[in-house]
Structure 1
Amino acid sequence: MQQENPHITFITPGAPVATATHGGRAKCLQRLVRLDLPVPPTVALSFDEVHRIASGQMPDMADLLAPLDVAHLLCVRPSSEDPDWGGPGAVLNIGMNDQRYAELCERIGETAARSIYARFIQSYSINVARLDPDMFDDLDMDDPEICQQALEAYEDEAEEAFPQDPAVQLSGVLRSMARAWEGTSARLLRQAKGAPADAGLGLVVQEMALGLGHGECGSGVLQLVNSTTGMPQITGRYLSQSQGRDALRSGAEALFLEKDPRGSSLEEKAPEAFEDLKVHAALMREKLREEMQIEFTIENGAVHILDGVRVQRSSRAAVRIAVQLAKDGIIPKQEAVMRVEPRALNELLHRQVDPEAERDVIGTGVAASPGAATGRIVFSAAEAQASAARSEACVLVRRETTPEDIRGMHAASAVLTERGGITSHAAVIGRGLGLPCVVGASSIRFQMRKKMLIAPDGRQFREGDVITIDGSEGEILAGAPDMVEAALDDAFQTLMAWADDERDIGVRANADTPADAKTARNFMAQGIGLCRTEHMFFEPGRLTVMREMIFADAPEDRRSALEQLLPMQRADFIELFRIMQGQPVCIRLFDPPLHEFLPTDRSGLRDLAEALNLPLSDVTRRVEALGEYNPMLGMRGVRLGITVPEIYDMQARAIFEATIEASRDGDAVVPEIMIPLVSAKREVELVKTRVDAVAAAVRTEQGEDFDYRLGVMVETPRAALRAEDIAPHCHFFSFGTNDLTQMTYGLSRDDAGRFMSAYVHQGVYPEDPFHTLDADGVGELLLLGAERGRDAQPDLTLSVCGEHGGSPESIAFCRKAGMDYVSCSPFRVPVARLAAAQLSIQDKVG
C-alpha cells in the first residue's frame, strides 16, 4: 500500500486525510499523530472506498494490512463527517483465533485471553455474521470452557466454522460496517440528525492496545471540563482489565480519575499514567482549539491514545467552554461567538427537563414557547389565579386562549392548548412571558366540560393531576420529571457583550407590561419595539370600565368611560418609560376588535348585565350585534380608531402626559406611536391629525414641550405596496410579519397548526411561514415596502416587530433588507443578539 493512496491511507503527519473524504475520527487521529501523542498505528479508509466495499468490491487485504504489525489484534471504528451522525459500533480484537489465544494465554494469562476471545466470537457473530444474539444467552462468560462453547454455538448457527484467518475476519467486519451504514434504517436515522442523504462513512483500522494483562492495564475516558456546567473539572472513568468504553458501562466497577474520598482512583493506582493523560489532554485542548475527550488504554502502565472526540456538552457548558477558550487566547472572541448556536440559548434562559430524566410522553403539539414547567391541571384563568394565590404551580389548559386569559397565563406555570400555531395568542403571549407553552396538541382529547384530558393511549388526566409541559420539544409529560434550572452566569454575559460588539442591527423587545419591560432591560434590549396596549385593559378593574365604553351609545358617554381609564393608562406608560429610561418605546395604539372584551358564556353575560345595571336581554343583543363573521379582518386597528376616535384620543393623551411626567426625573422621553392595520394613506392622515391635536392640547395645558414620532405597523399587503403614499406622513415603518404572513398566504395563524406539519412534510412549504419568514413571498412585500417607503422618505426608520424578529434565519433577511432593528419577545432577545452578531461576523470573514 502506498502512503499517498487517498483511499487506503496509513495515517502519518503528511498523509492525504481530510474530514470531507475520510471523516472526523480519521482526521482527528492524524492531528494527534502530528502532536506526537502515543496513537497506535492506524489505517484510514475513505468514504469512496467504504462505498465500494458495501457494493462488494473488497480491497487487497494484504496491502491494507502491510503497515500494521501482525502481532497485534485490530479494531475497526466508524469515521463519519460529523460524529453526531453516528455510525455502526466499533468491533474490537479482530485477528483473535485459536493460535492467538494460545499465545495470549502465555503472555497475559488464561483468564484475560479467554475474555478477549469469547467477547470477539460474540461480537463477530452478532455484528458480522448477523446471528441471533439469543444464542449466547445460556452461555456463562466466566466458564473456563466458554471459548469452545462459543465456537460450537457459532458453528451450529452459521453452519460453518468460525473464521480463523485475520484477513477474512477483517474483510467480514469491513463489509458488515459498510453495508450497515448504507442500509435504509441507518440512512433515515442519520437524516433525522441533519445528515445529507448521501453522507459518506470512513473506517479506521487500528492496532489494539489490549487493556488486559499483567501490571496495570485497563481503559477509560478523560476530559478536562464538566459536560453540564463547562467548569474546569477532570471527569471520566477508568476500569482496570477492560477494553473500549467498558468503563462507561452501567454497573461497571470503574475507578475515579482524580483522588476521590468516595473510592479508588487512577491517580492513586497509576500516578505516572494519570499525569501523562492530563498533559496529553491539555496539549489537545491547546492545539486542536477545543475541549476534547480522550479515549485511552493503559497497557502495563503505558498510555495509548485511541481516539479524541469533541466533549459532549449542554448549552450552558457550550457557552462557558467557548468563552474560556477565548479568554485563554486559544481562539479569538469572534470565533467564540460563532461557536454557540443561537437557539441553544433557550436552554440557558428557561428551566428544562433534565436530559437524563425519564419522559412519560402523553401527547405532542407545537413547541410554541421554550422551557419546561410542572403543575396541577386547571381549566380556567380564574382557577389558575386561585392556584397561584395558594402558591401552587398549575398548568392552564384551554382549547385556545383569548385576551381574557391573560391574567390566568400570568398566574400559571405553563399553558397547553388544543388549537393554535406558532403565532397564535397563547404562543405569542407565552413567549413574551417566558412561559412554557405547547399549542395545537390535537393528539390529546380535550373534554372541557368534564375537566379532563384523554391521552392517545387512553389514560385520563383530571383537574388537579400533575403534568409537565415541555415547550422546547412540544411534548406533554405525565408527572414531574427532574428539571435543570436556567443559568445566566458570567460566561453568558461575557459572550453576549462580545456579540454586541459585532452586530450591526438593533434588537428591541416586544413588551406589554412593566414586568416584560424589566425582562427586556435585563436582556439588554435596545428599547421596546412593540407595546400592545390592549393587554393593559384586561386587568379586572379596567375590564368593566372598558365594557362600559363599548356599551356607550354617544361619544360623550364613551369619553366619560375612557376618562376613568386615562389615569390607569398614563400610570402604565410612566412606568414603562422609567424602566426603559433613555431607550425608545414604541406604543401600538389599540388594535383588537371590541368583541374580545365581552363575555361569550351565559354566566359572563349575566355578570356583565349586573355590572352595567342593564337587562340581560339588552346585553345579549348588544354582544351579538358586535359580533363579526371574520373579526380579524373586521373593525379593528386603525378602523376602530377612525370610527370610535375617542379611544385613540385617550391613549394619545395618556402617552403625552406620561412623557412629560417621566421626563421630569430622567432623560427626555421621545415616545413612538404606531398605528396598526393601516392600508391607506387617508387612514394615517385622519389619525395623525387627531394625535397632533391632542399633543397640542397637552402642551398648552401642561406648559411643557415634548417630541414624539408617529409611524405605522405595515401588516397588510396593500400598505407594503402603497408605501410611497404612506411614508411621507411617518417617521417609521414597523413590519408586523405575523399578520402580513396571514394575509399574504390567506392562512389563519390560529388554525394553520392543524395542517402545517403535513404541508411541511410533503414539501408544500419548506418551513412553517409563521415560524420562519417566507423570504420569497412575504419577504418580497417587505422589500417593496422598504424600498418604496425610503424612496418617499429617505430617513424612514424600518423594523420588523412580528415573532420572526427572534428567528436567526429571518434576521439574516432583515439585515439584507436594510432594517434598522428587529423586535421580538423579551426571552428571545439574547437569541436575536447572538444571531445578528454571527451574521455580521460571517459577512466580515466572507
Structure 2
Amino acid sequence: MQQDTIYPPVTLITVDAPMSPSVHGGRAKCLQRLIRLEMPVPTTVALSFDAVRGIAQGQMPDLKQVLAPFGPDPLLSVRPSSEDPDWGGPGAILNIGMTDARHAEMCARMGEAEATAIYLRFIQSYAVHVARLDPEVFDIPEHPTGANLRVALDAYEYEMDEAFPQDPACQLAEVLRSMARAWDGTSARLLRQAKGAPANAGLGLVVQAMALGVGPGECGSGVIQFIDEATGGQRIKGRYLAQSQGREALGAGTGAMFLTRDPRGPSVEETQPEVFEALTRFGEICRTRLREEMQIEFTIEDGKIAILDAVRVPRSSRAAVRVAVALADDGIIAREEAVMRVDPAALSEMLHRQVDPTAPRDRITSGIAASPGAASGRIVFTANDAQASAARSEPCVLVRWETSPEDIRGMHAAQAVLTMRGGITSHAAVIGRGLGLPCVVGASDLTIDRKKKRLIAPDGRSFAEGDVITVDGTSGDILAGEAPMIEAALDEEFRALLAWADEFRDIGVRANADTPADAQTARNFKAQGIGLCRTEHMFFEGDRLVVMREMIFADSQTERRAVLDRLLPMQRADFAALFEIMQGKPVCIRLFDPPLHEFLPVDKAGMRDLAEQLGLALADVNARVEALSEYNPMLGMRGVRLGLTYPEIYDMQARAIFEATVEASASGAPVVPEIMIPLVSAMREVEIVKTRIDAVAAAVKAETGAEFDYRLGVMVETPRACLRAADIAEHAAFLSFGTNDLTQMTYGLSRDDAGRFMSAYVKAHVYEEDPFHTLDIDGVGELLSMAAERGRAGRPEVILSVCGEHGGSRSAIDFCRKQGFDYVSCSPFRVPLARLSAAQLAIADRLELNIS
C-alpha cells in the first residue's frame, strides 16, 4: 500500500524534492519545474502552507534550516506562493541580508553608488512593508549617497526607537512574519474570496538567493514573454533595465531597453545576442515542456543569466482561445485539454463589444447584468424615439421603467437597453440576450422624469434625452459618456475550439430564436436546431400589431377568423424563412402564449392612436382594455387557456406551420416541425389541442397533396404538469421545460419584481443564488427529475429538454446531462458558451471515470 507523501515545513527545492502546488503553492512548484528543465534558477527554499500558518500564529520554523543552503553570508528575496496567482498575496521583499557590514563589503567590490542603492531599497521596503512605517519618510533619492543612507537609517531608528536590524536571520524572521500575517488579515481574506479563493486558502513562501542585477559588468533585470497578451499571437514582448532589480524594467519611464530590434532604441537582441538567444530558448522550453505560454522574470549579473520566476502570461479572452488552439495544433497539448483550458465566459466576451478594461469609468450606477456586451448611445425613452434615432443613423440607448412586448421594435432599433425594473428573466433581459443586445435591468436607484424627459442618477446628476451614456451589460454598470470599446473577435481559433467541443459533448444544444435574424445567428453559432420559437414576438413587427389589435377587438369568432386570415400569410412566411435558414434541422414552435392585454397600449396617447386606427370611440377602446386586464396576467388567460378559449388562433398558426413545411420541404431538406403547447397543466388540454391540430394537418395534406410529419409536444411550466407528466406524455412526443415560469410558480415569486429584494436574500443566504439566474437544483430541479421520470413512464421514447433561460448555464447543462435530457436550448448568443460548457462537463466526467 502506497503511503502518503510527507511534506516537511521547510524544503530546499531540488529536482526530486517532495513538492506540491496544494502544499507549497504554484510559484514553488513552477520553480522546481524550471530546475528540472536545467534552467539557471538561484538556490531556493520553500515554506509550506502549514509552515506559514504557523508563522502567522507565532511559531517560527527553524531559521538555521532555512538559511543553511545559502551559505554564511546570505542575500535573499522572499516571494509569495499561493495555489492560484490570481488570489494575490503580499509583495516580494528583496535584498534581505543587507547590513552595514555587507554594505561596506559591496562598496569595495562594486562601487558605493550601486551598493548604497541596494541597501536603500531594502531599508525602504523593510520599513514600509515589514515595520509598517510611513512610506514618505523613506523615499529613495534618484542618486543614492552615503548621506542619504544615513538619513534613512536614522529615520528608521527615530520611528522605531531601535536601530535598523543588522542580523540577516532577524531580518528574515520579521519579513516572514509580516508576509504571513498580511495573508491572514481580514482585508486580504475578503479580497481573495471575492476572486474565488476558498476561505482556508493557504500561502507558501519561497526564500531565494538574490541575483542582484546591480554591479560591475553587464547587470540588470527584465521580463520577457513570447505572445501578445491581447491577441495571443506570437510576439516577443518585455523590457530590460540595466542596473536594476525585480520588475523595475516594466515601470521605468526612460532607460529601459527593448528586447528585440527596434528603431526607437537599442535592444538586448543587438547588444547581448547570447543573452537574447538563451532567453528565447528558455521560452520555447517553457512552452513545450510546461505546455504553456510563460512570462519569465530574469536577472543578468555580470553577463550571467538567472531565472527568478516564470508565470502564466496574463491574457485576454481572445488570446486565451488562440493560445489553447495553437498549443493543440502544435501537438503540445491534446484537444481535450485545449477545450478544458478556456473559460466559457471568455467566449461571451469575444461575442460582444466590451468596455476597454483599462479605460477610466464614470459610473452613474449599477444594475443587474442581464445581457453581455457594451454599447454607447443617446438616451431615448420610447420605442418610437428609438426607431426615429435609428432612422437618423444615431446610436441610442432605450431607457424604460420596464419593457413590454410593444417595445420590441424599439429594442431592435437601439444599441442597448436599460430598465429600472426587472430581473435576469424579465422581458428586457430575455429579448436582449436573444438579440445580442447589451442590457442592464433592475437599476432601481435611477429615476425617470417623464415630463422633463430626464434620467436622474442616485448622486443627483441629471441626464437629458439625447445625452450619451454607455450600458455595460457584462458588469451591470451604467457609465456617463461614450466609453472606449474593444471590438468582438470571432476568428478561426474560436471556430476550431468549438468544433472540438462538439466532438466531446454528449448533449444537444439548440437556440431560442423568434425571428429569421435570430435563426440566422443560431445557425452561425452551429445550434442544432431551434428549441423555442416564441411566435408572439412575430406579431409586434410593422403593421402586424395593428392587425393583431383588430383581432382582439373582433366581436365574434367569424370576425376573428377574418382578421387571422390576414395574419396567416405573414406567419407562413415567417415559418418558411425559419425552416429555410435551419436547413432541415428541427424547429420547435411554441404556439401563442401571452395574455392579449400585452398587445394593447397602456397610456392615453396610445389608446387614442388605437381608437383612430380601428375607427372606434375612445371610450370603447378604454372599456375593451379594461375588460382584458387581469389581476395577475401571468397566471391568467394565456398559453393553452387562450388557445382553448379562442381556438381559431391556434388553428391559424398550425395551418401556417404546415403550409410553410410543405413549401420549405419542396425546395430543400424535408422539414419535421415541432409544435409546442404552452402552459399546460392537464392532459385534457393536450388532447383537445392535438385533435384540432391533427385536423388542420389533414386538411393541408388534402389541399396540397403533400405528405409531411410533425411532432406535438408540451412546454412544461407549471408544477402540476410536472406531477402529471406521465399522463401528459402519452399525448406528447416531447416535454420541454420552461424553467423561467416553472421557477416563478415553484417559488411563488414574480420574476419581474424579484430584483427589488433578491440581492438581500442572497446576502442573507436565504437563497444561495438568484433562482432566475442559476437553476435551483434542489427545488425546481427535483420537479424536473420527477417529471422526467414520470414522463418516461408514460412514453419511454419521450424527448426531454430545457428551453428556459437557464438552458445556457453550466449548472443547468450539468443537471440535464445527469438526468439524461436530450438537449438544452438557450439564447443564440449563449449557444457557443453552452457548447463549450457541455464539452467540458463531458470531458471532466470521463477523466474522473478514468481516475477512479
TM-score range, shorter chain: over 0.9
Q: Equivalents in 1 of 2:217, 2:330: separation in Å?
A: 38
In structure 2, the partner of 1:153 is 155
In structure 2, the partner of 1:377 is 379
% identity of equivalent residues: 72
Amino acid at match of 1:445: T
Shift of residue 263 of structure 1?
Answer: 2.3
Question: Do 1:140 and 1:146's aligned partners in 2 also have CA atoms closer than 8 Å?
Answer: no
In structure 2, the partner of 1:584 is 586
Question: Do 2:121 and 2:140's aligned partners in 1 also have CA atoms closer than 8 Å?
Answer: no
Shift of residue 250 of structure 1?
Answer: 5.8
Q: Equivalents in 2 of 1:681, 1:544: separation in Å?
A: 35
Mapping for residues 135-174 of structure 1, pairs under 5 Å: 135-136=137-138, 142-174=144-176
User: 516, 519, 522: which one pairs with 1:517?
Assistant: 519
User: 82, 89, 92: which one pairs with 2:91?
Assistant: 89
In structure 2, the partner of 1:618 is 620
Amino acid at match of 1:573: F
Q: 1:4 to 1:670 in 2, by over 3 A?
A: closer
Q: Equivalents in 2 of 1:385, 1:246: separation in Å?
A: 54
In structure 2, the partner of 1:213 is 215
Q: Equivalents in 1 of 2:460, 2:141: separation in Å?
A: 42
Q: Equivalents in 2 of 1:273, 1:399: separation in Å?
A: 63
Q: 1:550 to 1:731 in 2, by over 3 A?
A: same
Runs ≥4 residues deviating over 6 A: none
User: 679, 682, 691: which one pairs with 2:681?
Assistant: 679
Q: Equivalents in 2 of 1:251, 1:368: separation in Å?
A: 41
User: 409, 415, 422: which one pairs with 2:424?
Assistant: 422
In structure 2, the partner of 1:344 is 346
Amino acid at match of 1:84: D
Q: Equivalents in 1 of 2:788, 2:62: separation in Å?
A: 64
Question: Do 1:384 and 1:396's aligned partners in 2 also have CA atoms closer than 8 Å?
Answer: yes
Q: Equivalents in 2 of 1:378, 1:103: separation in Å?
A: 73
User: 234, 237, 246: which one pairs with 1:235?
Assistant: 237
TM-score, normalised with respect to structure 1: 0.98
Q: Equivalents in 2 of 1:613, 1:645: separation in Å?
A: 26
Question: Do 2:717 and 2:739's aligned partners in 1 also have CA atoms closer than 8 Å?
Answer: yes
User: 826, 832, 837: which one pairs with 2:828?
Assistant: 826
SS of equivalent residue, structure 1 residue 66: helix
Q: Equivalents in 1 of 2:643, 2:690: separation in Å?
A: 11
Q: Equivalents in 2 of 1:248, 1:460: separation in Å?
A: 42
Amino acid at match of 1:150: A
SS of equivalent residue, structure 1 residue 540: coil
Q: Equivalents in 2 of 1:835, 1:252: separation in Å?
A: 46
Shift of residue 150 of structure 1?
Answer: 0.5
Shift of residue 70 of structure 1?
Answer: 3.7
Question: Do 1:24 and 1:83's aligned partners in 2 also have CA atoms closer than 8 Å?
Answer: yes
Q: Equivalents in 1 of 2:693, 2:10: separation in Å?
A: 77
Mapping for residues 277-296 of structure 1, pairs under 5 Å: 277-296=279-298
In structure 2, the partner of 1:44 is 46
User: 479, 482, 485: which one pairs with 2:484?
Assistant: 482
Amino acid at match of 1:532: R
Which segment is superposed worse, 110-119 or 394-403?
Answer: 110-119
Amino acid at match of 1:789: G
Q: Equivalents in 2 of 1:449, 1:316: separation in Å?
A: 45
In structure 1, the partner of 2:399 is 397
In structure 1, the partner of 2:530 is 528
In structure 2, the partner of 1:563 is 565
Q: Equivalents in 1 of 2:143, 2:402: separation in Å?
A: 59
In structure 2, the partner of 1:805 is 807
In structure 2, the partner of 1:599 is 601
User: 766, 786, 789: which one pairs with 2:788?
Assistant: 786
Question: Do 1:139 and 1:149's aligned partners in 2 also have CA atoms closer than 8 Å?
Answer: no
In structure 1, the partner of 2:303 is 301
User: 506, 510, 514: which one pairs with 1:508?
Assistant: 510
Question: Do 2:74 and 2:168's aligned partners in 1 also have CA atoms closer than 8 Å?
Answer: no
In structure 1, the partner of 2:79 is 77
Q: Equivalents in 2 of 1:170, 1:216: separation in Å?
A: 29
SS of equivalent residue, structure 2 residue 643: helix
In structure 2, the partner of 1:353 is 355
TM-score, normalised with respect to structure 2: 0.98
What's the CA shift string for 1:675-715, capped at 9, x where partnerless? 00000011111111111111111111112121111001000
* Ranges in structure 1 where 5+ consecutive residues have no aligned partner: none
In structure 2, the partner of 1:254 is 256
Question: Do 2:364 and 2:457's aligned partners in 1 also have CA atoms closer than 8 Å?
Answer: yes
Which segment is superposed worse, 260-269 or 651-660?
Answer: 260-269
Q: Equivalents in 2 of 1:216, 1:392: separation in Å?
A: 59
Shift of residue 139 of structure 1?
Answer: 6.1
Confirm whether residue 737 of structure 1 aligns to residue 739 of structure 2: yes
Question: Do 2:124 and 2:140's aligned partners in 1 also have CA atoms closer than 8 Å?
Answer: no
Question: Do 2:551 and 2:564's aligned partners in 1 also have CA atoms closer than 8 Å?
Answer: yes
Which segment is superposed worse, 564-573 or 457-466?
Answer: 457-466
In structure 2, the partner of 1:121 is 123
In structure 2, the partner of 1:272 is 274
In structure 2, the partner of 1:663 is 665
Shift of residue 72 of structure 1?
Answer: 4.3
SS of equivalent residue, structure 1 residue 707: coil
Amino acid at match of 1:667: A
Shift of residue 447 of structure 1?
Answer: 2.6
Q: Equivalents in 1 of 2:249, 2:91: separation in Å?
A: 16
What's the CA shift string for 1:427-453, capped at 9, x where partnerless? 000000000111001132333332222
User: 653, 656, 661: which one pairs with 1:654?
Assistant: 656
Q: Equivalents in 2 of 1:6, 1:72: separation in Å?
A: 22
Q: Equivalents in 2 of 1:760, 1:178: separation in Å?
A: 32
Shift of residue 481 of structure 1?
Answer: 2.0
SS of equivalent residue, structure 1 residue 62: helix
Q: 1:500 to 1:81 in 2, by over 3 A?
A: same
Confirm whether residue 53 of structure 1 aligns to residue 41 of structure 2: no
What's the CA shift string for 1:432-479, capped at 9, x where partnerless? 000011100113233333222222222221111111111111111112
What CA RMSD, in Å, does the superposition of the two structures yield over aligned residues?
1.3
User: 448, 451, 461: which one pairs with 1:449?
Assistant: 451
In structure 2, the partner of 1:109 is 111
Question: Do 1:710 and 1:731's aligned partners in 2 also have CA atoms closer than 8 Å?
Answer: yes
Question: Do 1:6 and 1:17's aligned partners in 2 also have CA atoms closer than 8 Å?
Answer: no
In structure 1, the partner of 2:336 is 334
What's the CA shift string for 1:779-811, capped at 9, x where partnerless? 111111111111111111111000111001110
Q: Equivalents in 2 of 1:63, 1:634: separation in Å?
A: 77
Q: Equivalents in 1 of 2:73, 2:278: separation in Å?
A: 26
SS of equivalent residue, structure 2 residue 261: coil
Question: Do 1:69 and 1:207's aligned partners in 2 also have CA atoms closer than 8 Å?
Answer: no
Shift of residue 257 of structure 1?
Answer: 1.0
SS of equivalent residue, structure 1 residue 770: coil
Q: Equivalents in 2 of 1:5, 1:327: separation in Å?
A: 38
Confirm whether residue 472 of structure 1 aligns to residue 479 of structure 2: no
Q: Equivalents in 2 of 1:629, 1:4: separation in Å?
A: 68
Which segment is superposed worse, 137-146 or 576-585?
Answer: 137-146
In structure 2, the partner of 1:772 is 774
Q: Equivalents in 2 of 1:665, 1:825: separation in Å?
A: 28
Question: Do 1:246 and 1:252's aligned partners in 2 also have CA atoms closer than 8 Å?
Answer: no
What's the CA shift string for 1:732-789, capped at 9, x where partnerless? 1100000000000011111111111111111111111111111111111111111111
Mapping for residues 313-324 of structure 1, pairs under 5 Å: 313-324=315-326
In structure 2, the partner of 1:224 is 226
Shift of residue 143 of structure 1?
Answer: 4.8
Question: Do 2:592 and 2:650's aligned partners in 1 also have CA atoms closer than 8 Å?
Answer: yes
Q: Equivalents in 2 of 1:484, 1:100: separation in Å?
A: 51
Q: Equivalents in 2 of 1:726, 1:811: separation in Å?
A: 24
In structure 2, the partner of 1:494 is 496
Shift of residue 483 of structure 1?
Answer: 1.0
Q: Equivalents in 1 of 2:114, 2:7: separation in Å?
A: 37
Q: Equivalents in 2 of 1:300, 1:508: separation in Å?
A: 62
SS of equivalent residue, structure 1 residue 664: helix
SS of equivalent residue, structure 1 residue 713: strand
Q: Equivalents in 2 of 1:798, 1:588: separation in Å?
A: 15
SS of equivalent residue, structure 2 residue 31: helix
Question: Do 1:223 and 1:281's aligned partners in 2 also have CA atoms closer than 8 Å?
Answer: yes
